[in-house]
Every structure is written in C-alpha cells, then in structure tokens.
Amino acid sequence: MNRRYFLGAGLAVASAPVWARRTADMQVRTLSLHHLHTDERISVAYRIGDNYQRSALQRLNHFLRDFRTGDETAIDPRLFDLLHDVKLGLGHDDGTFEIISGFRSPRTNAMLRRASSGVARQSLHTTGQAIDVRLTEMPTRNIRDAALTLSRGGVGYYPRSDFVHLDTGRVRRWGA
C-alpha cells in the first residue's frame, strides 16, 4: 500500500453519497444467547453504529440475571461488544453463545465460594462485568484464543468444564 492508495481511498469515502457513509456508520451488532440454566433464548440487536439500544440492554440485563435469586444489574455493554467481536473474529457470525453464568448477586457468589475454591471473592460477575460461555459448534479453546487476541479483559479457560470466562476487567489470563 502506498500514498496514492490512501489518497484514493480517502477521496472515495469523501465523495461517497451521504447515505452510503451513514450506512457504514450504522453497523448493527447483534447477539444470540441461550441460557443453559433457564433454557431461555434471546436474539437482539444491542447496538447500532455507536449507539447502544437502551431497550435491548434492558432485555439483556434481565436475561443475564442471577438465575438463583432473580436479582438483576446493569451489564457492562463492553461485555456485549467483546462477545460480538469474539464471534466475528472466529468467523461464526450466526453462532449462539451458551451462557453458563452471567450476573451473580453477592449472596450467590458467597455461596459458590463456600462450595468451590475457584470462585473469586471480588468476582466481576457480581458487578456485571463477566460472563462464562460456550459458542455453538466452536471448540472453547478457539473462543479463548480469539478473546486473547483482542486483549480487552480477563480470559479464563476451563477445558474440563468446557467454557471460557470473559470479562471487561484488566487484561489477564488463566487456565490451560
């Protein structure tokens, strides 16, 4: 690629009709999810261009509620972007994420900590910043690798339980 290419590309974008530029800016981001504990399913366009869709986020907050207590919280929208970008990076745009764990109330997190040493005291699940997933017809190691490539939060790999933990906290990794 050279200078002429960039100048030509810039002129092409600048001279494109306004509707064509708006269409590029209006990319629709959708997610399809299946909650394995409630057997609920949702497919939702949660973001159009740079605008998160409030009603879609509310539906996702409810969908990812603590299934044990019914408690809900505002899920970090960057978590949905992370899921979307992982799916795109894998070339699996029509895939459905299987949800193992979304939001956890502090009470649920404490109960799980008593039962397992693998549950963090300050889990990002309790702040709506973490999710444990699989993706239909995709090995979980591929999900892990795609998420690690993005470098946008924590990635935990649990091959025995066959899921990947993704979060919007600091960049780190654990597991096999």
Question: Residue 106 CB: number of other CB atoms within 10 A?
Answer: 14
From first to last of its 176 residues, the chain has per-residue pLDDT tens of: 444 443 444 444 444 455 444 555 689 999 999 999 999 999 999 999 999 999 999 999 999 999 999 999 999 999 999 999 999 999 998 899 999 999 999 999 888 888 876 787 789 999 999 999 999 999 999 999 999 999 999 999 999 999 999 999 999 999 96
Instruction: Print the domain residue range for 35.
Output: 27-175
- CATH number of the domain at 79, please: 3.30.1380.10
The encoded tokens of residue 129 equal 């910043």
Q: Could you tell me if residue 101 is inside a domain?
A: yes
Q: What does the pLDDT read at residue 8?
A: 46
Q: What is the pLDDT of residue 5?
A: 41
Q: Which of 39, 34, 147, 8 is nearest to 84 (CA)?
A: 147
Domain tally for the chain?
Answer: 1
Q: The whole model's pTM is what?
A: 0.83
> Quick check: is 100 in a domain?
yes
- Look at residue 51 and tell me if it is in a domain: yes
The contacts of residue 94 (CB under 8 Å, 6+ apart) are 32
Tell me if 10 is assigned to some domain: no
37, part of any domain: yes
